[in-house]
């Protein structure tokens, strides 16, 4: 049975921030990601923290596309601020609360069976005051779900050979201790339906540039690296990867990135 205690750690947050969270309507998945950001910043007494997609996935239980969509939603509402770095983005809460762009009330359509067709087009709020139909597009825009497109690329006719080459390249370059070749090759077969051979190969090279000096037991097994559950490879794809910035605190490592590459 869980028994949370302050001695195990706590968040020190200003009352104004809590009151702002209570007044502003934030969708569920966005709120989950926001709490991760609060935990990784205020929980470590830091103004901002590096948080990767896989970290959000691990802490929230959401899938990677849902996390990406939620982060974009928080950024569009100006609730959080993101640093200009693709592979190692750092996040912090926007403490300028007046800049937040959210709806303070849930606006719904109050439709009853006996209402006329014209009445059905009238939008009503909780206080029963009618609003003009002209604001409907604005409400729909605020509530719409942002969709992150997934580009499916043509699968090579020789998929088995591509899988073998990628797996062999990973074992040669990374030199990890894992032996789960069957799972790794299965994941690679699925990934080649979405990503090109060169992009996946480049993700391995990018990962090597980060973990090259680590001991084999501290490197990702190929099955874990390409696992659809963790999406670890995603951060190392060419379109997402950048060299780690200097002196940015990483709560998952407990050190700055200037030292991580030397571990």
Query: Which CATH number goes with the domain that contains 19?
Result: 1.10.10.10
pTM over cut 0.75: no
Do 176 and 89 lie in one domain? The reply is: no
Looking at the structure, tell me whether residues 111 and 175 fall in a common domain: no
Domain that holds residue 189: 159-260
If you write DSSP's letter for every residue of 65-129 in order, what string do you get? HHHHHHHHHHHHTTSEEE-S-SSS-EEEE---GGG----SS--B----TTS-HHHHT-EE-TT--
* The two structure tokens encoding residue 219: 């490197």
Q: Is there a single domain that holds both residue 143 and residue 163?
A: no
Give the tens place of pLDDT for each residue, 193-227.
888 999 999 988 888 887 767 777 778 888 888 88
Pair 23, 106: CB distance under 8 Å: no
Tell me how many domains the chain contains. Answer: 3
Tell me whether strands 90-93 and 49-50 are parallel, antiparallel or unpaired: antiparallel
In the numeric block, the tokens 């490197």 are attached to 219
Inform me whether the pLDDT recorded for 27 exceeds 80. Answer: yes
pLDDT tens across 111-157, in order? 444 444 444 444 444 444 444 444 444 444 445 544 444 443 444 45
Is there a contact between 131 and 125 (Cβ–Cβ < 8 Å)?
yes
Task: Give me the pLDDT at residue 126, please.
Answer: 44
Q: Based on the fold, state whether residues 116 and 83 are members of the same structural domain.
A: no
Dmax of the chain from CA atoms? 72
Q: Are residues 33 and 54 in the same domain?
A: yes
Same domain, 189 and 236: yes
Whether 248 shows a pLDDT value over 70: the answer reads: no
- Both 183 and 245 in a single domain? yes
């Amino acid at each position: 049975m869980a028994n949370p205690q302050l001695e195990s750690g706590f968040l020190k947050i200003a009352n104004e921030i809590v009151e702002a969270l209570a007044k502003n309507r934030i969708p569920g998945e966005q709120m989950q990601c926001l709490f991760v950001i609060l935990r990784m910043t205020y929980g470590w007494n830091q103004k901002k923290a590096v948080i990767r997609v896989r970290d959000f996935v691990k802490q929230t239980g959401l899938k990677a596309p849902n996390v990406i969509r939620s982060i974009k939603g928080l950024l569009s509402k100006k609730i959080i601020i993101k640093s200009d770095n693709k592979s190692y983005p750092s996040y912090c809460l926007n403490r300028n609360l007046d800049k937040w762009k959210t709806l303070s009330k849930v606006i719904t359509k109050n439709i009853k069976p006996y209402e006329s067709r014209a009445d059905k087009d009238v939008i009503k709020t909780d206080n029963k005051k009618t609003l003009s139909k002209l604001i409907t597009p604005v409400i729909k825009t605020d509530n719409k779900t942002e969709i992150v497109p997934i580009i499916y690329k043509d699968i090579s006719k020789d998929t088995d050979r591509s899988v073998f080459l990628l797996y062999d390249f990973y074992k040669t370059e990374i030199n990890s201790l894992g032996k789960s070749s069957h799972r790794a090759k299965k994941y690679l077969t699925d990934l080649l339906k979405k990503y090109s051979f060169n992009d996946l190969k480049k993700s391995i090279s990018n990962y090597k540039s980060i973990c090259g000096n680590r001991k084999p037991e501290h490197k990702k097994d190929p099955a874990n690296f390409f696992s659809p559950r963790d999406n670890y490879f995603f951060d190392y794809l060419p379109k997402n990867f950048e060299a780690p910035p200097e002196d940015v605190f990483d709560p998952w490592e407990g050190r700055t990135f200037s030292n991580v590459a030397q571990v």
